[in-house]
Structure 1
Amino acid sequence: MTNPLLQPSELPFQLPDYANLGDDQVREAISIGMAEQLNTLDAIATNPHIPTVANTLEDWERSGATLTRAMNAFWVAKAADTNPVRDAIEEEFAPKLAAHGDAILLDARLYERLLQLKDRGERGEIELDAQDSHRIEEHLRAFRRGGIALPEAEKERLRALNVELATLSAQFQELLVAGRNAAGVHVTDPAELDGLSDDDRASARSSAEAAGLDGWLIDIVNTTTQPALEDLTDRGLRERIFRASVARGLAGEHDTRELAVRTAHLRHERAQLLGFEHHVAYVAGDGCARTTGAINQLLAQVAPGARELVEREAVELQALLAKDAPDATLEPWDWQFYAARAAAANSVDQQALRPYLEFERVLHEGVFAAATALYGITFHERPELVGYTADARVFEVREDDGAVLGAVVIDPFTRPTKQGGAWMTSIVDQSLLFGDLPVVTNTCNFPRPAAGSPSLLTWDNVITLFHEFGHDLHGLLSHVRYASLSGTAVPTDFVEFPSQVNEIWAWEPALIARYAVHHETGEPIPAEWIDRLVAGRRQGIGHQTFETVAAQLLDQAWHQSAVEELPGGAEEVEAFEAGALEAAGVSFPLVPPRYRSAYFAHIFSGGYGAAYYSYLWSEVMDADTVAWFREAGGLSRETGERFRRRLLAPGGSVEAMDSYRDFRGADPDVRHLLERFGLG
């Protein structure tokens, strides 16, 4: 059978032929794609003709076509629906891909050719437009950061470091998913499930059946906090779930600590080899922050206030607990339960809200409707197209004049083979050079409904769906020449910004009235509930901010510490973590970090090592942009068009902060974020 990844797909949108794509074909396509790219780049490096945009930049973009096609098709399927073969492919190719990247970035011939092309443009021999010049500068920066100036012996060490780090990342992720699945809490007594919704009980029953167990299985999600803790009245079961969550990766066959320690040590060595004080300095230099000092300053502005807010919330929750158990002391496993009660008193009861948050309606009348109101785009399901899982659904996206813009693939429900959390990926990158339309994905872990029943979301699920769709819009509305700079190909501390902005439309009263309709009666959500929901938006913001900032500071500790201060082995990880939180002023046992070290996928198996701060950095721009939207008229085509053309469309084809200033007319003002947190 012909490998469908070895040439552009003939399916609509160049969607990979998942129906006829086997894992062995992925392995073959990755191998061939790497070889093809190196051969093409060698031809560029040895081309006897003087460098031009066509024979250098454009040929460079074409060089990775097969590899990009294979990797984009593979990564989304592997993350959403892994199996032992896919795990093995990732572990096999992670070091090979790292070596492949080094083969490019340590090739002095390619670096010299780029310098020649830049020089020709500066001397006026050829015309380089803004996107050409930026693409050249981004290439050159990658070479410099990739070690092109190192002596050969140090280049060899760098190659070894990159290969081992890639291997460790793949191993951490594999252990993490297995450990999360193994941490599920088995329940046999139905009385323990008091407070849990019928939908969540059905989901727990399905999980138990899938695991070959009687009763119910409460699945553990990626974060320290667990959704079930909001609803379960049984304090003992809440404690079991919490302890199962925070104990992940600390012992046994799924222990990730040694991988984390080794990763931190190697990253530190690599940073110093490349001339940086530590890994944070290396990462910051490639982002909007630019310096370690800028990162530390922002965290220092927020952390003390977040601590003050969360301590106030603790007093309120202790008082609520005392009404049920006068002699009890508030514990971490009580927090979410009583926070939900506080929210019900001050806002809207979350369980009462769920019947109004049916997934299909939230998707169409909320997420899609907001995008239509802002950008004029519409969404049309293509049920004949096959996605990367049985749950994945393909939607064609059209401009307001009917022109096809691209496609989005929605995969909403949890499964044991899916990594935790929620994310967006790109299957096809938008490119004017190639004429490619974008294909993006939206992958979440919402509870799977029982057969024949609707999927009812929590309010947090709604926010997640809007957030991830903000990433989708960044990819869909990209309008750039080079695929390698399209959509979300922006600095890590900028990439979360558009997705955070998109969350604000979940709170838009007129939109809530459209998507929040009782799934059984058809009754719209009561108007007073909308008012209370919006008014209570800051309810629990202390917990949310504190747990995130604590995780951000923990990330910085792993990647700013001198090597002698890092753990020497697995047995020192918990003490290191505790000491780091204490030193940063965020040690508060009632609210642990959003991710503890042993299951901190973002920094040890994702792209956020030393960059988890980026969520806060992006939120500065988000809060500033929300202020602009309010001033400019809110949810409208006029505001959406400005945001689209000046901020989303340029993708990575210009400096990120230049596009922000073009959109906003100024640098972001941190005052708006501090006001959001109640710290202004």
Structure 2
Amino acid sequence: MKEVARMKSRLLATTTIIALAASACTTTMEDTDMATASGLPQTVEYDPEIPAATSIFAEASPLYMHAPQFDRVQDSEWQGIIEEAIAIQLAEVEAIANNPNPANMTNTLVAMERSGQVFSRAYSAFSQIVGANINDTIAAADEALAPQIAAMNDTIYLNPQLFQRVKAIYDNRAAMAMTPEDAMLLEVYYQNFVHRGALLGDEAQTELRDINERLSSLSTQISQRITTGQNQAAIVVDTREELSGLSDGQITSAAQLATERGHDGKYMIGVSNTSGVAMLSQLHDRDVRERLLMASLNRNQSGEAGTLDAIRETIALRNRRAQLFGEPTHANWQMYDRMVSDPQAAIKFMADMVPALRATQDREAAVLQARLEQDGHDFQLAAWDWPYYAEIVRQERYSLDNEEIKQYFEIDRVLEDGIFYMAGELYGLTFEKRSDIPVYHPDVSVYTVFHDGSPIALFYFDPMQRDSKRGGAWMSNFVEQSHLLGLRPVVTNTQNIAPPAPGEPRLATWDDVETMFHEFGHALHGIFADQQYPSLSGTNTARDWVEFPSQFHENFAALPEVLQRYARHHETGEVIPDELVQAINRAGRFNQGHGFGEIIAASLLDMEWHSIDPNQPAPTDIMGFEAAALERIGLRSDLVPPRYRTPYFRHIFEHGYDAGYYAYTWTEMLHHDAYSYVEENGGMTREMGDHIVATFLGQGHSKTYEQMFRDFTGRDPRVEPLLEARGLIPGETQPGGASGVL
């Protein structure tokens, strides 16, 4: 399970109306054809004046495939650039709304798809800098812009003239000749307008604007404080002896971090974006383990990085918004466009797994308790002990040494000899590294992507952790593909792999490797986009579908023919030994009570927060509500904390995954079932790759999600492959289900 956050989630549903820069490339649909198809021809000339942009984003970038000109913008200029772009976007949409001609696809929906190009060019670049290279100037600009963008969204969606034009087309849709993608575009627009308040009365719309503007400010505030809290949660360790269990390289890095932060002669260990910290599995000193985990779990609860007040207000405002719409919960309001649109169905999907998962946690806890007692200890297993003793048992049962395995995963080799090889065998892609494209940080690499020899995309790769980058991993677009606008995709993958000590190679853990394949699955979803309209292109899909292509591609990381290409010792070049590969495979279902338990706990915690009756007062005691919710969920959260606790649950307070974190488990079900189809039908072949692209990877949101899955597998999704993979029911390689526990 990996974090993914598409940067445009900050724009709420603005992607439905924001198009990207026009270009001479690729075929476009003629306006006359669209007008004829609509049956509502234009009747008068209409040529409104739109303010001209003055920044470098006024026109499409002159760089290859319109790559952003990061070297042409000073930090202090971003706010003014985007404020100007907002004004232009609003003028463009106002002109569409005031068109005196009868509404048709061309002069309304297609016009909206063409609008917002200046804004999209600027904000897509700025968003990546906010996430991956923030500083005080950028942070201040982000905070100032957030409410302005929210107000822009509302001005568009609550424009009565504009909605009446969309509604007129929607009401006349049965009489119109439309392509399937036209029909989907119309459906998405209409749903989004209604969802954003177009049918509310004037008084309710006024309140809604205030709510949305305030929520956007709170989201930015929470996000920045989570980043600050993660940096502040690093613990100081006085002696090298207390770091026993860590490698020499890790200890050197800890000393370097301490020096950088003013603690010369000491050591510092940082926390991750999640509750767990990888080094907990290595540290012999129990007191250091406790300090480290508690620093992670208790962050963001007070001080300058405290998020509780902002979260309290966010929940109350979300509930009030649901009340305005007459919805029983925020989850009902939020899930309107999902593959799973009923909150109770999402809750039941996860809750049905809890009894088996709780039993697995109890069994695993008993095994770990026995193992620590075997070493002569008499303490009770605690949350900070679980990863440590699980790693001991893992090594004893599977001969799996994570530090040894890490030596075979040099980051650039994983990318170029592993991921790119997989993409070539499946899809006919090749990659050429470039040195002429400006980047926002020296860590970033850029590649031209070729399909059967023809250039189709640009791919940016930013793998390393740094203080200026928020936690997690994500994919986003600098340029969205669109035949209407003649644009090819420019995509980026961002991760947080721990940096090496000075002079040491950049090595990845197995979890990092899986994340690289995961994020590249998102990139492929963008690279193979083949849509007319930008708002239906590539990854512009529902939360509980967008994670499917990414999780699906994780499966290829451990495929032997791929693994042997990239898993080579960074010093000797030796291919990873078979015994280590077998250990990785055997350990794949190991420790599910912890690995799956933390995900389900976080997913159900999200639904608890967003299933509150909006007619009741919102909780004021955030941590008290969380404790009661975890008790109701029924998992061993005392030993296995949720993957994210409420104060640093960035997904649901900034990334747009509120009432949507279940999507990771839902799409895990989809990908396990879909990959079983790959295994049953020839595996990693070009024929299979073409089928993947033709049925879902290249389809964006041009079809329903259910139809795309059926097009690929020929059936509806099944939950059994997920349960087998997670060790919750017996499978062919799992007699009695025993391999699912420690």
Match of 1:48 among 100, 111, 116: 100
Match of 1:179 among 223, 226, 229: 229
AA partner of residue 92 (structure 1): A
Aligned to 1:345: 396
Is the counterpart of residue 15 in structure 1 residue 78 in structure 2?
A: no
- 5 Å-filtered alignment, 1:243-258, equals 243-258=294-309
Could you tell me how far apart the structure 2 residues matched to 1:452 and 1:380 are? 26
Is the counterpart of residue 665 in structure 1 residue 717 in structure 2?
A: no
* Cα-to-partner distance string for 1:572-621 (whole Å, 9 max, x where unaligned): 22221111111121243111111111111111122111111111111121
Aligned to 2:578: 527
AA partner of residue 304 (structure 2): E
Stretches of structure 1 lacking an aligned partner (at least 5 in a row): none
Could you tell me how far apart the structure 1 residues matched to 2:114 and 2:77 are? 21
- 5 Å-filtered alignment, 1:372-387, equals 372-387=424-439
Task: Quote the offset at 1:2 in angstroms.
Answer: 6.5
Aligned to 1:486: 537
Is the counterpart of residue 501 in structure 1 residue 552 in structure 2?
A: yes
Aligned to 1:648: 697
TM-score relative to the length of structure 2: 0.89
Aligned to 2:489: 438
Q: 1:2 to 1:452 in 2, by over 3 A?
A: farther
Task: Quote the offset at 1:65 in angstroms.
Answer: 0.4
Task: Quote the offset at 1:105 in angstroms.
Answer: 0.7
Aligned to 1:539: 590
Q: Is the 8 A contact 1:406 1:438 kept in 2?
A: yes
Task: Quote the offset at 1:52 in angstroms.
Answer: 3.5
Q: Is the 8 A contact 2:323 2:615 kept in 1?
A: no
Which SS does the other structure have where 2:370 is aligned? helix
Q: Is the 8 A contact 1:180 1:248 kept in 2?
A: yes
Is the counterpart of residue 37 in structure 1 residue 86 in structure 2?
A: no
Aligned to 2:642: 593
Match of 2:206 among 153, 156, 167: 156
Could you tell me how far apart the structure 1 residues matched to 2:496 and 2:282 are? 18
Q: 1:203 to 1:477 in 2, by over 3 A?
A: farther
Could you tell me how far apart the structure 2 residues matched to 1:2 and 1:573 are? 46
Greater CA drift, 296-305 or 589-598: 296-305
Aligned to 1:137: 187
Could you tell me how far apart the structure 2 residues matched to 1:603 and 1:492 are? 12
Could you tell me how far apart the structure 2 residues matched to 1:592 and 1:379 are? 41
Task: Quote the offset at 1:565 in angstroms.
Answer: 6.6
Q: Is the 8 A contact 2:170 2:190 kept in 1?
A: no
Could you tell me how far apart the structure 2 residues matched to 1:566 and 1:251 are? 23
Q: 1:623 to 1:25 in 2, by over 3 A?
A: same
Is the counterpart of residue 228 in structure 1 residue 279 in structure 2?
A: yes
Which SS does the other structure have where 2:640 is aligned? coil
Q: 1:217 to 1:326 in 2, by over 3 A?
A: closer
AA partner of residue 470 (structure 1): G
Is the counterpart of residue 282 in structure 1 residue 333 in structure 2?
A: yes
Aligned to 1:78: 130
Could you tell me how far apart the structure 2 residues matched to 1:203 and 1:634 are? 41
Is the counterpart of residue 292 in structure 1 residue 317 in structure 2?
A: no
Q: Is the 8 A contact 1:232 1:337 kept in 2?
A: yes
AA partner of residue 190 (structure 1): R
Greater CA drift, 18-27 or 539-548: 18-27
Match of 1:584 among 633, 643, 650: 633
Match of 2:474 among 423, 426, 436: 423
* Cα-to-partner distance string for 1:107-152 (whole Å, 9 max, x where unaligned): 121112123334555324xx32111111111010001101111110
Which SS does the other structure have where 2:360 is aligned? helix
Aligned to 1:242: 293
Match of 2:217 among 167, 170, 187: 167
Could you tell me how far apart the structure 2 residues matched to 1:565 and 1:207 are? 47
Task: Quote the offset at 1:86 in angstroms.
Answer: 1.1
CA RMSD of aligned residues (A): 1.6
Aligned to 1:67: 119
Could you tell me how far apart the structure 1 residues matched to 2:509 and 2:560 are? 17
Aligned to 2:513: 462
The alignment covers a number of residue pairs equal to 675
Could you tell me how far apart the structure 1 residues matched to 2:353 and 2:57 are? 47
Match of 1:201 among 223, 244, 251: 251
Q: Is the 8 A contact 2:408 2:576 kept in 1?
A: yes
Stretches of structure 2 lacking an aligned partner (at least 5 in a row): 1-52, 730-742
Q: Is the 8 A contact 1:558 1:566 kept in 2?
A: no
Greater CA drift, 45-54 or 336-345: 45-54
Could you tell me how far apart the structure 1 residues matched to 2:403 and 2:698 are? 39
Q: 1:325 to 1:427 in 2, by over 3 A?
A: farther
Is the counterpart of residue 604 in structure 1 residue 656 in structure 2?
A: no
Task: Quote the offset at 1:498 in angstroms.
Answer: 0.9
Greater CA drift, 222-231 or 506-515: 506-515
Is the counterpart of residue 359 in structure 1 residue 408 in structure 2?
A: no
Q: Is the 8 A contact 1:374 1:635 kept in 2?
A: yes
Aligned to 2:4: none
Could you tell me how far apart the structure 2 residues matched to 1:396 and 1:306 are? 44
* Cα-to-partner distance string for 1:635-668 (whole Å, 9 max, x where unaligned): 2211121111210111122222222222222221
AA partner of residue 561 (structure 1): I
Aligned to 2:178: 128
Could you tell me how far apart the structure 1 residues matched to 2:54 and 2:618 are? 50
Could you tell me how far apart the structure 1 residues matched to 2:426 and 2:627 are? 45
Task: Quote the offset at 1:536 in angstroms.
Answer: 2.0
* Cα-to-partner distance string for 1:204-238 (whole Å, 9 max, x where unaligned): 23322322222222111110100111111111111
Aligned to 1:311: 362
AA partner of residue 88 (structure 1): A
Q: Is the 8 A contact 2:113 2:535 kept in 1?
A: yes
Q: Is the 8 A contact 1:516 1:524 kept in 2?
A: yes
Q: Is the 8 A contact 2:250 2:501 kept in 1?
A: no
Could you tell me how far apart the structure 1 residues matched to 2:697 and 2:160 are? 34
Q: 1:119 to 1:277 in 2, by over 3 A?
A: closer
Q: 1:562 to 1:120 in 2, by over 3 A?
A: closer
Which SS does the other structure have where 2:57 is aligned? coil
Aligned to 1:111: 163
Identity across aligned pairs (percent)? Answer: 39
Aligned to 2:386: 335
AA partner of residue 371 (structure 1): A
Which SS does the other structure have where 1:332 is aligned? coil
AA partner of residue 673 (structure 1): L
Q: Is the 8 A contact 2:409 2:569 kept in 1?
A: yes
Which SS does the other structure have where 1:536 is aligned? helix
Q: Is the 8 A contact 1:386 1:392 kept in 2?
A: no
Greater CA drift, 205-214 or 97-106: 205-214
Could you tell me how far apart the structure 2 residues matched to 1:378 and 1:566 are? 56
Q: 1:26 to 1:656 in 2, by over 3 A?
A: farther
Could you tell me how far apart the structure 2 residues matched to 1:2 and 1:101 are? 23
* Cα-to-partner distance string for 1:69-107 (whole Å, 9 max, x where unaligned): 111000111100111111111111111111110111111
Task: Quote the offset at 1:285 in angstroms.
Answer: 2.0
* Cα-to-partner distance string for 1:477-508 (whole Å, 9 max, x where unaligned): 11101112111100011111111111111121
Which SS does the other structure have where 2:263 is aligned? coil
Match of 2:150 among 98, 101, 112: 98
